[in-house]
Amino acid sequence: MGLIEIENLSVTFRAKGREVRAVEGVSLTVGERESYGLVGESGSGKSTILRAICGMAPVTGGQIRIGGEALRMPRGPGFSRRVQMVFQDPYASLHPRHTIDRTLSEPLAIHRIGGSDAKVVKALTDVGLPASFRFRYPHQLSGGQRQRVAIARALMLEPSILLLDEPTSALDASVQAEVLNLLTRLREERGLTFLMVSHDLAVIDHMCDRVLVMQHGRAVEELARDDLAAARMTTAYARSLFEASADRMLDPAKAP
Amino acid sequence: MSLLEVQNLRVTFDTETGPVQAVRGVSFSLGRERLGIVGESGSGKTMTGRSVLRLIRPPGRIAADRMVFDGQDLMRASERDMRALRGKRIGMVMQDPKYSLNPVMTVGEQLTEGLRRRDRIRGAEARAKAVAALEAVQIRDPDRVMAAYPHELSGGMGQRVMIAMMLIPEPDLLIADEPTSALDVTVQAEVLSILDALVRDRGMGLIFISHDLRLVGRFCDRVLVMFKGRVVEELEARRLTEARHPYTRGLLNCLPRIGGPREPLPGLDRSGDWAKEGAA
Ligand SMILES: Nc1ncnc2c1ncn2[C@@H]1O[C@H](COP(=O)(O)OP(=O)(O)OP(=O)(O)O)[C@@H](O)[C@H]1O
Ligand SMILES: Nc1ncnc2c1ncn2[C@@H]1O[C@H](COP(=O)(O)OP(=O)(O)OP(=O)(O)O)[C@@H](O)[C@H]1O
Ligand SMILES: [Mg+2]
Ligand SMILES: [Mg+2]
């Protein structure tokens, strides 16, 4: 049984009489301690799937279960201790008038967890930011620094499931390496489960055991990591993504 | 003659804990070419780009020995002159597109606003131009997106709307700050080919800020590598993998690869002299 089970999920937005079918009949299962990737066309519904798990998208069909139980609306406080999401757009997800300190300590306060001071400093250190950044506001940070604050915040409540939407696309190579190593270490130490979106197939290959390729609201193909690396895809779309990523293949000359 | 010349640019923020020097003496010149700027998070790439448009909000301050765009001294230009340049002759694709778009205006209103105000093109003609711009950046259903508000777009759609908006006025210089970070590789390739065509056919100058070293290496002509507010290395883009500076080499080394080993990625060794404060 999977820890996260999504069955035949459909999400339809209605805006000004128009229907936007963002997700149509997508199913996927993520095992406990697994790291599962979502890739695909821009606008194909990847973020919407993550938001649907959090109860933030208009689900019009299908089921989402976590640990075998169907999720309730609204999600409730137990959910946020268990599942945390890092949003694609860190600017929009950080409160502009709250200091970083407040952003990071608020989840602890809501859940009446003590030791906030030390935890905030530790969280910042974990994502490679100086403790002095506590007193800054989001607009005083660079794009990548904001993204790291968003990751730090998601980790504050020590969730067991992390939904990661492009967690490193705003980061430079060295910080990306640090954050990916941190995520991998946390997954090993705390037995975390990841559902993660990325456009970078090298990041997906490095982090994920399996990956679902999406296009236009639908699941196109699921691939195990080895099949991705060995180009054993069966659909033309998945192949086109792979071929357009030629610059990030392991240099054959340097292969072990 | 170069399109843009920047000499000894400095950007300083006065904060409660003292001045933060975001840019410390950056110099470069740009012709009708694709200039990449790479470098770690917080190294001053965005501030360098924004300085060219003099879009640094207080308490930030800009200083430069020289900053000239097509013969016009940007340091001496009036605010009015700057407004005339922004969005028309110099466009900037912001790093946080959804934050930079107006949340209470539809995409269509935002795309046609400039056409109406600047070029006095309105109605069906303005709309047709906007739709064409959206199609060019591979938006699947431009009619729906024209009527949508920014929060109704995906991350990559927001980015493409921003690019479309900057390209409509046909600028002479485009500063693109992480313009394709939210795009899948195939859509990204299309967007890059549009930018490429503008440089080649129209002689636009392009400053392409990106974290993606491999992308910059294959797309740009030249690259500036920034570290802590300084340019530490400048090289031909196709020679990026042959970079000499230990910082650039370190960055290249941290990248994951498809089919690579599952061990921790190498970090950047910051113990060298180059990483010390004040080193160039
Ligand atoms: N609040 C909303 N109202 C209307 N449509 C929406 C809303 N949110 C998302 N959509 C639409 O749903 C579709 C899927 O969006 P989603 O953000 O899930 O894409 P994505 O796969 O994450 O893309 P990207 O890689 O560009 O971030 C898009 O067409 C988008 O315009
Ligand atoms: N208002 C401000 N007050 C103080 N420091 C600031 C302010 N705005 C930016 N900074 C600092 O200026 C430095 C340069 O920021 P900039 O946004 O140019 O970085 P960047 O190279 O674009 O990074 P990224 O790749 O993460 O976007 C950063 O260290 C940032 O924290
Ligand atoms: Mg998305
Ligand atoms: Mg930036």
Beta-carbon separation of A241 and B178 below 8 A: no
Any idea what the Cα angle at residue B186 is, between residues B49 and B142, rounded to 5°? Answer: 80
Task: Count other C-beta atoms under 10 Å from residue A236's C-beta.
Answer: 9
Each domain of chain B, given as residue ranges in start order, spans 96-168
pLDDT tens for A77-93 read 889 999 999 988 777 77
pLDDT at A15 over 60: yes
Over chain B (280 residues), the average pLDDT of each successive run of 10 is: 94 90 96 94 94 93 97 96 92 86 94 88 92 94 94 93 93 95 93 94 96 93 95 94 90 92 86 68
Hey, which CATH number is domain A4-250, 3.30.930.10, 3.40.50.300, 3.40.47.10, 3.40.50.720?
3.40.50.300
Give Cβ neighbours of residue B65 (< 8 Å, ≥ 6 apart): B7, B8
* Tens digit of each residue's pLDDT (9 = 90 or more) over A162-181: 999 999 988 889 889 988 99
Q: Among residues A242, A244, A43, A171, which one has the least CA distance to residue B219?
A: A244
Give me the residue spans of the domains in chain A.
4-250
- Asked if A205's CB is within 8 angstroms of B260's CB, the reply is yes
Residues whose CB falls within 8 Å of the CB of residue A68, separated by 6 or more in sequence, listed in order: A1, A5
pLDDT, residue A190, reads: 87
Nearest CA residue ID for atom 7, ligand 1: B152
- Is residue A159 within 8 A of residue A178, CB to CB? The reply is no
- Which of A42, A171, A250 lies nearest to residue B157, judging by beta carbons? A42
Ligand approaching nearest to the C-alpha of A42: 1
Shortest CA distance to B8 belongs to which of B76, B67, B82?
B67
Closest residue to atom 23 of ligand 1, CA basis: A43
Give the pLDDT score at B178.
93
Residues A22-32 have a mean pLDDT of 98
pLDDT at A92: 72
pLDDT band of residue A255 (cuts 50, 70, 90) is very low
* Per-residue pLDDT at A160 exceeds 90: yes
- DSSP string for B96-147: SHHHHS-TTS-HHHHHHHHHHHHH---HHHHHHHHHHHHHHTT-S-HHHHHH
pLDDT of residue A253: 43
> What are the DSSP E strand ranges found in A67-216?
69-70, 83-86, 161-165, 193-197, 210-215
How far apart, in whole angstroms, are the C-alpha atoms of residue A181 and residue A204? 13
Strand partners, B35: B207, B222
Q: For A220-235, what is each residue's pLDDT tens digit?
A: 999 999 999 999 999 9
**Residue A251: its pLDDT value, please?**
62
The answer to whether the beta carbons of residues B29 and B235 sit under 8 Å apart is: no
Pocket lined around ligand 2, Cβ cut-off 6 Å: A 139-145, 172; B 13, 15, 20, 22, 39, 41-47, 60, 95
Mean pLDDT confidence for A127-145: 89
In chain B, what's the furthest Cα-to-Cα distance? 60
> Which of B44, B71, B56, B58 is closest to B15 using CA atoms?
B58
Q: Which ligand 1 atom lies nearest to the CA of residue B141? A: 29
- Ligand 1 centroid to Cα of residue A97, in Å, is 27
- Across the interface, of A48, A145, A255, the residue whose CB is closest to B41 is A145
Q: Which has the closest alpha carbon to B43: B217, B144, B221, B177? A: B177
- What is the interface pTM, i.e. ipTM, of the complex? 0.89
Is the Cβ of B50 closer than 8 Å to some Cβ of chain A?
Answer: no
Residues B6, B28: Cα–Cα separation, whole Å = 5
* Encoded tokens for A183: 């995520």
